[in-house]
C-alpha cells in the first residue's frame, strides 16, 4: 500500500501560465520585426545592459578567461574534461550504417551534425556556468559547424565566469544577452546575428516558453520546466543525507519539486525532522523552504516494487537511489531523466562535474525522452542506392502495386518507368506491374 507522509500543497510546477505565453509571444514578435534595435531595447529594459553590439570581443573574452584564478581554471578544465570524455564515448557508440538488404539494394544512414546551434546559459539569479559545458561542449563534440551562445549579464555586468566557460567549451560567438530577446535573436536572426537551426540549454519560465513557441522554426533540445528531484531510499541511509539531497535541489527555485519515496517510515519521519533543522542553517533556506513547503512530498511504500512503480509514475528529472540494491532500480525503472545510483554520488555531481549531461526532461517528459546528449546534436539521415537493373525492376514492380493500392498513380509511374527502362517490360501507363510469374 502507498501512503503519503507529506503531500505537495501547490498545483503542478509545470502547469502552463497563459500570461507568460502572451508576454513571450509579444516579445518574440518584437524581436522578429525589430531586429537589433528591439534586442537592444529589451536588453536595456530587462537586464540593464545597453551596448551597440552584444557580441563580446576577443579582448573581452580573453579578459574573462584571465580573470579566473588558477584554482578556478583547473576546476573548470577538470569539469569540462569529464563532460567531453563522456560525450566522446557516446558519439563513438553511434555508428554510420550501410547494408545490402537484397542483391543490388543498398540502404544506409549517416549521423550528420546540425550545422548551426544556439546555446543558452542561464545566469540572472545564479551564474550557471556548468550549462556551458553541457550545451556548447557537447555540440562541439558532436561536430556542429557553428556554435553561438548567449548568457545574461549578472547584476548588470558581463558574467566573467560564464563567458570563460563558454569560450573554453568552444563557442564560436559569445553574446551577453539574456531572456526571450536572446532566444528570439538566435532563432530569427538579426542584422548582426545569423540565425541558428537548433536551440539548447535551460532557462526560466520565459526562456522555456520562448523555446516551446519557436519549436518547428528551429529544433530544441527539450521542453524544460522547474528542476525536479526524486530520492528513493531505504533504511540503509539516514535522514540527514536524504534531507540534504532534497534541499540541495529545492534551492533551484520556489517551484522545484522534491520527493522522497521510501519503504521506511522511520526514515520518512527522520527526514522531515532533518529538513526542519537544515532549513535553520541553509543560506538558501528562503527558496528551498518554500519549494519544500509547496512542492515537497514523502511517499511511503510497502515493497520495493511499489517504490519502482511510484517512481515511474513520478517520472522525475533527477532520481537519486540510495538503497541496498540500487541496480534493482537501474534494471527495473523506465521513466527518469538521469539516475544517481548509491549514496556516494548525488545530483550536484551530475549538475556540475561528473560528466553526464544536466539538461534533462521535466514535467513527466521522462516518459518519452531522455536528456540532452551528443546524439541530440546529430541528425540520423538515411540514404539508398540500387546497383543493378535487375534490382531496380524488382523493387519497381512491388512499388508499382503498392502505390496503386493507395491510389497514387503518379507514384506508381515513378516505379513503372524504371520497370520499363531497367526491366525491359511494356507496362501500360498508370497500371500496376504484374508479377513475372503471373
- Reply yes or no on whether the pLDDT at 195 is more than 70: yes
Query: Using 50, 70 and 90 to split pLDDT, how confident is the model at 9?
Result: confident
The mean predicted confidence, pLDDT, of the chain is 96
**Per-residue model confidence as pLDDT tens digits over 301-329:** 999 999 999 999 999 999 999 999 999 99
109-156 pLDDT per residue, tens = 999 999 999 999 998 777 889 999 999 999 999 999 999 999 999 888
Domains delineated in the chain: 16-221 (3.40.50.1980), 226-371 (3.40.50.1980), 388-437 (no CATH)
Q: What is the pLDDT of residues 238-275, one digit of tens each?
A: 999 999 999 999 999 999 999 999 999 999 999 999 99
d(CA 193, CA 189): 5
216-226 mean pLDDT: 93
Strands across the sheet with 219-220, in order? 173-175, 146-150, 116-120, 198-200, 219-220
pLDDT > 70: what percent of the chain? Answer: 98
Bridging pattern class, strands 97-102 and 105-113 = antiparallel
**Across residues 20-27, what is the average pLDDT?**
96
How far apart (Å, rounded) are the C-alpha atoms in residues 193 and 286?
A: 39
Instruction: Establish whether 318 is a catalytic residue.
Output: yes
Q: Residue 10: pLDDT above 80?
A: no
Which pLDDT tens digit goes with each residue over 344-397?
999 999 999 999 999 999 999 999 999 999 999 999 999 999 999 999 999 999
Q: Which of 251, 274, 317, 413 is catalytic?
A: 317
pLDDT tens sequence across 81-91: 999 999 999 99
Predicted confidence at residue 12, as pLDDT, reads: 61
pLDDT tens digits, residue range 166-178?
A: 999 999 999 999 9
Q: What is the pLDDT of residue 124?
A: 74
| Sequence-ordered list of residues with C-beta below 8 angstroms from that of 145, at least 6 positions apart, any chain | 113, 115, 116
Q: What is the pTM of this model?
A: 0.93
- Known catalytic membership, residue 109: no
Given the residues 318, 358, 406, 413, the one annotated as active site: 318
Amino acid at each position: 500500500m502507498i501512503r503519503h507522509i507529506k503531500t505537495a500543497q501547490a498545483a503542478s510546477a509545470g502547469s502552463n501560465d497563459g500570461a507568460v505565453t502572451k508576454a513571450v509571444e509579444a516579445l518574440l514578435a518584437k524581436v522578429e520585426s525589430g531586429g537589433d534595435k528591439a534586442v537592444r531595447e529589451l536588453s536595456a529594459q530587462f537586464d540593464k545592459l545597453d551596448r551597440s553590439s552584444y557580441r563580446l570581443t576577443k579582448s573581452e573574452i580573453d579578459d574573462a578567461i584571465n580573470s579566473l584564478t588558477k584554482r578556478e581554471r583547473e576546476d573548470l578544465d577538470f569539469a569540462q574534461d569529464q563532460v567531453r570524455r563522456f560525450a566522446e564515448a557516446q558519439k563513438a557508440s553511434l555508428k554510420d550504417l550501410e547494408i545490402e538488404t537484397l542483391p543490388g539494394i543498398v540502404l544506409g544512414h549517416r549521423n550528420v551534425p546540425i550545422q548551426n546551434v544556439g546555446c543558452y546559459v542561464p545566469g540572472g539569479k545564479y551564474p550557471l556556468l556548468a550549462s556551458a559545458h553541457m550545451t556548447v561542449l557537447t555540440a562541439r563534440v558532436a561536430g556542429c559547424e557553428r556554435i553561438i551562445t548567449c548568457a545574461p549579464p549578472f547584476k548588470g555586468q558581463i558574467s566573467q565566469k560564464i563567458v570563460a566557460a563558454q569560450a573554453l567549451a568552444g563557442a564560436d560567438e559569445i553574446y551577453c544577452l539574456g531572456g526571450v530577446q536572446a532566444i528570439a535573436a538566435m532563432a530569427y536572426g538579426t542584422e548582426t546575428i545569423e540565425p541558428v537551426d537548433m536551440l539548447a540549454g535551460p532557462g526560466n519560465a520565459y526562456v522555456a516558453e520562448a523555446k516551446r513557441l519557436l519549436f518547428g522554426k528551429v529544433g530544441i533540445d527539450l521542453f524544460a520546466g522547474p528542476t525536479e528531484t526524486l530520492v528513493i531510499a531505504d533504511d540503509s541511509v539516514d535522514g540527514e543525507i536524504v534531507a540534504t539531497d532534497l534541499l540541495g535541489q529545492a534551492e533551484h527555485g520556489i517551484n522545484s519539486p522534491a520527493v522522497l519515496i521510501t519503504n521506511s517510515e522511520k526514515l520518512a519521519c527522520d527526514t522531515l525532522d532533518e529538513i526542519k533543522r537544515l532549513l535553520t542553517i541553509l543560506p538558501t533556506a528562503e527558496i528551498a523552504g518554500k519549494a519544500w513547503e509547496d512542492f515537497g512530498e514523502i511517499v511511503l511504500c510497502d515493497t520495493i516494487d511499489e517504490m519502482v512503480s511510484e517512481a515511474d509514475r513520478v517520472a522525475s528529472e533527477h532520481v537519486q537511489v540510495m538503497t541496498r540494491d540500487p541496480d534493482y532500480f537501474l534494471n527495473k525503472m523506465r521513466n527518469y531523466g538521469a539516475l544517481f545510483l548509491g549514496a556516494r554520488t548525488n545530483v550536484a555531481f551530475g549538475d556540475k562535474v561528473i560528466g553526464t549531461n544536466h539538461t534533462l526532461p521535466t514535467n513527466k517528459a521522462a516518459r518519452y525522452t531522455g536528456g540532452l546528449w551528443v546524439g541530440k546534436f546529430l541528425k540520423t539521415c538515411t540514404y539508398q542506392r540500387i546497383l543493378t537493373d535487375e534490382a531496380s525492376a524488382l523493387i519497381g514492380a512491388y512499388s508499382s502495386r503498392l502505390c496503386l493500392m493507395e491510389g497514387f498513380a503518379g507514384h506508381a509511374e515513378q516505379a513503372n518507368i524504371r520497370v520499363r527502362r531497367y526491366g525491359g517490360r511494356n507496362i501500360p501507363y498508370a497500371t500496376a506491374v504484374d508479377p513475372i510469374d503471373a
